[in-house]
């Protein structure tokens, strides 16, 4: 028996970077289109899933899919410069070829969220994985109740996806609450940390799902505050970041207890996380 | 001797002079001991000193001193690692108390080859060799068979950093020439050596037990682990293995004290001490001094003396 | 299934016959270490059966370094090729019952979620396994504590038991039945069968009694103070996990040579600090405390929880290999007593 490209799960699909959007000083969003036309048509995924992106000659790194499957033909991922592959990606130009293994992992149980109010709480680059679900819900607006988005960053220049803020806030029954850490000239929105802003806004836990993602320290206080507001662990969802290589449960590095973040996650409810050892 | 060791360790711990004492205690079988980290006087009762105490405990010092002053049981050979660590500014002289144990030689596991390991009850020094107590009686093993090669050629006296001397150093006349092993090796031509090492290095699985057990391999990040700038491949391809071992060897030139922990730890039986000893000999010949002797000396590859160093860079 | 006998003196001829159809791999001494090697010369057959091989079967199915694909870059374009050359079928002779049992575990891991690991299963499919019952277990062996596969082997095709000048050969699969169809095998007598049975019982009697580790693992104490003790002396090397027949963790790396190169995987271990270190510096298992716990918990707690089987077959390799005498059997017994 031979191992052909199609059954070797470590061989990526080739994709062309069609568009690069500079989000912040260290973050860019890449729009990739599969070279294989049939795949371009058939490829689909779910909000919350992730992918392994190859820069040939450098290596592979893990990124969430930040685009929504409701908008077909391309996929997007946001990259913050932290390591080798992420730095290499910052340097490539539109038209470059990358490798993509996707979709990987589980996703937000958006069917269970139907009919409920949604509260998105994001910090910095943490907005990237939530953007997929957010745009998915906005594209299926009738399925969901009120949508509140609390999004914060260090400064206004550190807010990603600004070109979509209008679409978000103009969507019916949807509110976008922006906040930055320190005052800035011309900034008319809130100033303060995300967890504190959450307490100012005091969203009701009634029939609401909270989805949060951001730096660990923000998450820690957001969770505390959500509980104080009356949210139960079952109502809080997050997506975890973990060192990953294979993305398919084989290489062994992303476990938390007996769960693998790459296949049992990256999306977990707080109730699910409470069952796992505190090792993430 | 064991009692004396325990007693001293107790005193040091009781008086608060040290935070912990690193020594040996009984292992999971009678022919192995295991490192012991004693932090209370009661712990000190577990300390042992017998032929199974092979590990070079100096490997633990750079991290152990972070929690406070440490006393460590060292054989004369291991003591030289302490000297190196001080010389290379990895530990302060004041942070470590060396307890030098009298060492007739430590166990060569091959010595037990003909004994059913499950029957072994105890191993101790006796005469100039060892005595192995088994279920079916006592077996004496003579020195030339009982001890590691390094012990058979050992002429070391108390290390330059001796704080506490336990017992009297045993009379020791070397049974073997220190260079006997490399004399054979040096008979090989350069090409033969290449073939020899190529064969040995194909066995390497890159478990890095050699590096981790080595008291001189303390780099915060080993060149082979860098993932930003890739210096060396993690692959076990022959060239990659060759590159790893040769680079490690060069990093150890003038610093390897020949404790043999790399070779002992290597699960694949690669004769790594041959590399260290060859280098050590070259360094001795070229620079006139070796590793682990003088804590105040400058590291050989970390210094340059225009008047003395041979073969300065060509113009 | 059927059982026959084969004279020890006929093993060489039998293997030579097989070698026409497939690669024959058996344990041979390579310097001081015993390793599985392809047998080329059946005349001077020097199979090393008494000592277990230093490595188990892991490298046979997941080599230490394995190319995943190659790439070529031309300007902005990339072209990928993955080697599709068929491998020769092979027969591995002299497999220990524990090493074969470990395949049950690695099969489960490699089938852990779709897609399965095709590279692993391609090699599995092409391999016939001939086991031998141990006659002289090492001091560190404790397989009988884990399972009864020494008496009732699993995951192999044929099982040989030393009964003097011949082997009692039990076929365990259709592949095994075909094997004992070879002319070197003769019908087994009742006496042969009894001899094999008593040979097995003799070894088993010298080994520890069974313990329900999977059940006990459920109650392991996450905060057991023993891990701080182990972490103090553990050197954070890969000796234990790289020799372990069930350990399967790997890294994926790039080998770039100008405009071409390859992506490969190589063995990796939870004992290395960088295993879980993330690009921005966070490490969920930042110290040896967490990492020593991971190894033991993974094998004795997480694996039963996830796959329904232990991640240890009691081969004792990690015990003999550890430079500081960390003995997983002792560690687990202590954890079970501490809970
Ligand atoms: S201990 Fe041996 S097998 Fe492991 S990396 Fe060193 S030389 Fe290689
Ligand atoms: S954990 Fe140790 S004893 Fe168990 S299978 Fe692995 S190497 Fe063998
Ligand atoms: S013990 Fe560690 S190296 Fe072995 S399989 Fe488990 S996580 Fe991987
Ligand atoms: S072999 Fe021993 S020292 Fe090395 S990582 Fe394993 S337990 Fe630690
Ligand atoms: S990334 Fe390999 S197991 Fe999860």
Over the stretch B217-226, which tens digit does the pLDDT of each residue have?
999 999 999 8
| Min distance C73 CA to chain A CA atoms (Å) | 8
Of C205, C238, C260, the one marking the end of a domain is C205
- Type and span of the H or E element at A118: strand A117-123
Spell out the SS3 assignment of chain B. CHHHHHHHHHHHHHCCCCCEEEEEEEEEECCEEEEEEECCCCHHHHCECCCCCCCCHHHHHHHHHHHCCEEEEECHHHHHHHHHHHHCCCCCHHHEEEEECCCCCCECHHHHCCCCHHHEEEEEEECCEEEEEECCEEEEECHHHHECHHHHCCCCCCCCCCCEECCCCCCCCCCCCCCHHHHHHHCCCHHHHHHHHHHHHHCCCCCCHHHHHCCCCCCCCCHHHCCCCCCCCCCCCHHHHHHHHHHHHHHHCCCCCCCCHHHHHCCCCCCCHHHHHHHHHHHHHHHCCCCCCCCCCCCHHHCCCCCCCCCCCCC
Q: Is residue A254 domain-resident?
A: no
- Of A207, A210, A208, A206, give the one whose Cα is nearest residue A194: A210
Of A84, A104, A124, the one marking the end of a domain is A104
Which CATH number goes with the domain that contains A84? 2.40.30.10
Of C205, C221, C245, the one marking the end of a domain is C205
Of C174, C205, C236, the one marking the end of a domain is C205
Residue C157: predicted pLDDT:
98
Ligand 3, residue C270: give the atom nearest the CA: 2
Angle, nearest 10°, between helix axes C97-110 and C118-125? 140
- C272 in Cβ contact with C238 (< 8 Å): yes
Nearest CA in chain C to B264: C323
Q: Which domain holds residue A65?
A: 13-104
Nearest CA in chain B to A85: B228
What pLDDT band is residue A4 in, cutting at 50, 70 and 90? very low
CB contact (8 A) between residue B207 and residue C237: yes
Same domain, C78 and C199: yes
Same domain, A59 and A129: no
Same domain, A63 and A135: no
Over the stretch C150-171, which tens digit does the pLDDT of each residue have?
999 999 999 999 999 999 999 9
Q: Is residue A248 domain-resident?
A: no
Torsion angle, CA of B121/B125/B129/B131, rounded to 10 degrees?
-20
Q: Is the pLDDT of residue C84 over 90?
A: no
Same domain, C117 and C223: no
Which CATH number goes with the domain that contains A139? 3.40.50.80
Q: Is the pLDDT of residue B288 over 90?
A: no
Same domain, A203 and A130: yes
Q: Which domain holds residue C233?
A: 213-338
CB contact (8 A) between residue A56 and residue C277: no
Alpha-carbon distance B126 to B140, whole Å?
Answer: 8
C32 SS3 class: coil
Q: B110, B198, B207, B244: best mutation site toward chain C, by most C Cβ within 10 Å?
A: B207
Alpha-carbon distance A275 to B6, whole Å?
Answer: 46
Same domain, C190 and C246: no
CB contact (8 A) between residue A57 and residue C275: no
Q: Considering its fold, how many domains does chain A have in total?
A: 2
Of A74, A89, A104, the one marking the end of a domain is A104
Instruction: Give the ligand at the shortest distance from the Cα of C328.
Output: 2
CB contact (8 A) between residue C264 and residue B264: no
Same domain, C101 and C163: yes
Ligand 4, residue C239: give the atom nearest the CA: 1
CA of B209 to the centre of ligand 4 (A): 8
Task: List ligand 5's pocket residues with C-beta within 6 A.
Answer: A 244-247, 249-254, 260, 262
| Min distance A90 CA to chain B CA atoms (Å) | 15
- B267 in Cβ contact with C239 (< 8 Å): yes
Q: B227, B229, B233, B235: best mutation site toward chain A, by most A Cβ within 10 Å?
A: B227
Over the stretch C43-83, which tens digit does the pLDDT of each residue have?
776 777 777 899 999 999 999 999 999 999 998 889 999 87
Same domain, C38 and C157: yes
- Ligand 4 pocket member C60 (CB < 6 A): no
Same domain, C197 and C258: no
Same domain, C189 and C256: no
CB contact (8 A) between residue B267 and residue C239: yes
Ligand 5, residue A252: give the atom nearest the CA: 3
Residue B298: predicted pLDDT:
80
Same domain, A17 and A129: no
- List the residue whose alpha carbon is closest to atom 1 of ligand 4: C322
**Cβ neighbours of C276 in A, within 8 Å:** 242-243, 253-254
Residue with tokens 């470990």: C102
Nearest CA in chain B to A57: B230
CB contact (8 A) between residue B269 and residue C32: yes
Out of A10, A98, A263, closest to residue C263 by CB: A10
Nearest CA in chain B to C237: B209
CB contact (8 A) between residue B235 and residue C253: yes
| Long-range Cβ contacts of B239-243 (<8 Å, 24+ apart) | B240/C65, B241/B201, B241/B202, B241/B204, B241/B206, B242/B197, B242/B198, B242/B201
What DSSP character marks residue C326?
Answer: -
Same domain, C107 and C73: yes
Same domain, A29 and A89: yes
Same domain, C55 and C83: yes
| Tokens linked to A178 | 């922006």
| Tokens linked to C271 | 């004992």
What pLDDT band is residue B314 in, cutting at 50, 70 and 90? low
- List the residue whose alpha carbon is closest to atom 5 of ligand 2: C312
| Tokens linked to A214 | 């951001």
Instruction: Kindly report the number of other CB atoms within 10 A of residue C135's CB atom.
Output: 13
Instruction: Give the ligand at the shortest distance from the Cα of C243.
Output: 2
Instruction: Give the ligand at the shortest distance from the Cα of C239.
Output: 4
**Cβ neighbours of C265 in A, within 8 Å:** 10, 251
The count of C-alpha atoms lying within 13 angstroms of the C-alpha of B249, restricted to the half-sphere facing its C-beta, is 19
Please report the residues numbered 224 through 243 in chain B whose beta carbons come closer than 8 angstroms to any beta carbon of chain A: 227-228
- List the residue whose alpha carbon is closest to atom 2 of ligand 3: C270
Q: Considering its fold, how many domains does chain C have in total?
A: 2
All partners of chain B with 3 or more CB pairs under 8 angstroms: A, C
Over the stretch A92-150, which tens digit does the pLDDT of each residue have?
999 999 999 999 999 999 999 999 999 999 999 999 999 999 999 999 999 999 999 99
Q: What is the ipTM of this complex?
A: 0.93
Over the stretch A183-238, which tens digit does the pLDDT of each residue have?
999 999 999 999 999 999 999 999 999 999 998 889 999 999 999 999 999 999 99
Alpha-carbon distance B19 to C71, whole Å?
Answer: 55
Same domain, C106 and C200: yes
Ligand 5, residue A254: give the atom nearest the CA: 4
Is this model's pTM higher than 0.90 or not? yes
Q: Is residue A261 domain-resident?
A: no
- Type and span of the H or E element at C330: helix C328-338
Q: Provide the b/e sequence for A46-75 (b: ≥16 CB within 10 Å).
A: bbbbbbbbbbbbbbbbbbbbbbbbeeeebb
């Amino acid at each position: 028996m031979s191992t052909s490209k199609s059954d070797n799960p470590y061989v990526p699909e080739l994709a062309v970077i069609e568009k690069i959007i500079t989000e912040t000083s260290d973050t860019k969003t890449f729009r990739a289109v599969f070279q294989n036309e049939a795949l371009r048509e058939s490829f689909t995924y779910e909000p919350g899933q992730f992918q392994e992106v190859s820069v040939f000659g450098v290596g592979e790194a893990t990124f969430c899919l930040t685009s929504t499957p409701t908008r077909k033909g391309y996929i997007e991922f946001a990259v913050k410069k932290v390591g080798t592959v992420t730095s290499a990606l910052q340097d490539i130009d539109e038209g470059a070829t990358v490798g993509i293994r996707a979709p990987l992992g589980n996703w937000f149980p958006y069917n269970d969220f139907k009919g409920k109010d949604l509260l998105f709480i994001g910090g910095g680059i943490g907005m990237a994985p939530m953007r997929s679900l957010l745009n998915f819900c906005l594209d299926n607006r009738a399925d969901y109740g009120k949508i509140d988005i609390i999004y914060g960053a260090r400064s206004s220049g550190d807010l990603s996806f600004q070109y979509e803020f209008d679409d978000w806030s103009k969507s019916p029954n949807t509110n976008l609450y922006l906040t930055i850490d320190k005052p800035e000239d011309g900034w008319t929105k809130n100033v303060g940390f995300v967890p504190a802003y959450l307490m100012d806004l005091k969203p009701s836990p009634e029939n609401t799902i909270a989805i949060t993602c951001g730096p660990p320290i923000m998450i820690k206080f957001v969770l505390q505050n959500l509980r104080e507001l009356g949210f139960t662990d079952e109502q809080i969802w997050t997506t975890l970041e973990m060192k990953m290589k294979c993305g398919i449960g084989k290489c062994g590095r992303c476990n938390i207890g007996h769960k693998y973040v790459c296949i049992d996650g990256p999306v977990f409810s707080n109730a699910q996380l409470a069952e796992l050892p505190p090792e993430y | 001797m064991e009692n004396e060791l325990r007693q001293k360790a107790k005193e040091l711990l009781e008086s608060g002079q040290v935070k912990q004492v690193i020594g040996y205690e009984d292992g999971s079988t009678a022919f192995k001991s295991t490192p012991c980290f004693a932090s209370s006087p009661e712990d000190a009762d577990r300390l042992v000193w017998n032929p199974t105490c092979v590990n070079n405990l100096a490997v633990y010092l750079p991290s152990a001193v972070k929690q406070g002053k440490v006393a460590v049981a060292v054989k004369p050979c291991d003591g030289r690692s302490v000297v190196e660590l001080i010389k290379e500014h990895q530990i302060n002289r004041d942070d470590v108390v060396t307890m030098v144990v009298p060492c007739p030689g430590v166990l060569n596991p091959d010595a037990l080859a003909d004994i059913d390991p499950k029957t072994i009850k105890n191993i101790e020094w006796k005469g100039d060799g060892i005595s192995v107590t088994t279920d079916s009686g006592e077996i004496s093993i003579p020195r030339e068979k009982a001890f590691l090669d390094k012990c058979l050629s050992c002429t070391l006296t108390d290390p330059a950093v001796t704080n506490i001397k336990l017992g009297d150093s045993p009379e020791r006349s070397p049974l073997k020439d220190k260079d006997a092993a490399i004399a054979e090796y040096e008979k090989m031509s350069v090409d033969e050596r290449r073939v020899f090492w190529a064969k040995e290095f194909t066995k390497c699985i890159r478990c890095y037990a050699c590096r981790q057990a080595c008291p001189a391999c303390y780099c915060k990040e080993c060149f082979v682990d860098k993932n930003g700038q890739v210096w060396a491949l993690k692959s076990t391809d022959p060239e990659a293995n060759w590159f790893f071992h040769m680079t490690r060897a060069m990093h150890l030139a003038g610093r390897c004290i020949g404790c043999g922990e790399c070779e002992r730890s290597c699960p694949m039986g690669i004769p790594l001490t041959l590399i260290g000893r060859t280098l050590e000999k070259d360094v001795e010949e070229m620079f006139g001094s070796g590793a682990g002797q003088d804590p105040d000396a400058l590291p050989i590859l970390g210094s340059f003396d225009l008047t003395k160093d041979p073969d300065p860079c060509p113009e | 299934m059927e059982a026959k006998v084969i004279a020890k003196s006929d093993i060489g001829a039998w293997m030579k016959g097989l070698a026409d159809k497939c690669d024959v791999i058996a344990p041979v001494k390579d310097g001081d270490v015993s390793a599985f090697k392809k047998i080329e010369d059946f005349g001077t057959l020097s199979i090393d059966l008494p000592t277990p091989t230093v490595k188990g079967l892991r490298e046979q199915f997941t080599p230490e370094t394995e190319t995943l694909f190659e790439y070529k870059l031309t300007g902005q374009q990339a072209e990928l090729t993955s080697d599709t050359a068929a491998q020769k079928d092979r027969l591995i002779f002299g497999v220990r019952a524990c090493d074969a049992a470990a395949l049950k575990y690695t099969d489960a891991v490699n089938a852990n979620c779709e897609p399965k690991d095709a590279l692993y299963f391609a090699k599995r499919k092409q391999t016939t396994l001939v086991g031998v019952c141990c006659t002289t277990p090492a001091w560190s062996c404790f397989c009988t504590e884990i399972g009864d596969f020494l008496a009732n082997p699993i995951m192999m095709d044929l099982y040989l038991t030393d009964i003097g000048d011949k082997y009692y050969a039990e076929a365990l699969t259709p592949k095994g039945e075909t094997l004992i169809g070879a002319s070197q095998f003769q019908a087994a007598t009742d006496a042969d069968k009894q001899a094999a049975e008593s040979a097995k019982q003799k070894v088993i009697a010298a080994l520890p009694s069974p313990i329900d580790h999977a059940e006990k693992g459920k109650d392991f104490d996450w905060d057991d103070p023993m891990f701080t003790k182990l972490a103090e002396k553990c050197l954070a090397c890969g000796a234990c996990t790289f020799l372990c027949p069930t350990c399967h963790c790997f890294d994926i790396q790039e080998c770039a040579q100008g405009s071409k190169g390859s992506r490969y995987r190589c063995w990796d271990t939870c004992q290395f600090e960088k295993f879980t270190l993330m690009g921005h510096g966070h490490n969920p298992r930042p110290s040896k405390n967490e990492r020593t716990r991971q190894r033991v918990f993974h094998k004795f707690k997480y694996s039963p929880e996830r796959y329904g089987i232990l991640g240890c077959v009691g081969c004792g390799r990690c015990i003999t290999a550890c430079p500081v005498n960390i003995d997983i059997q002792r560690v687990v017994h202590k954890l079970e007593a501490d809970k």
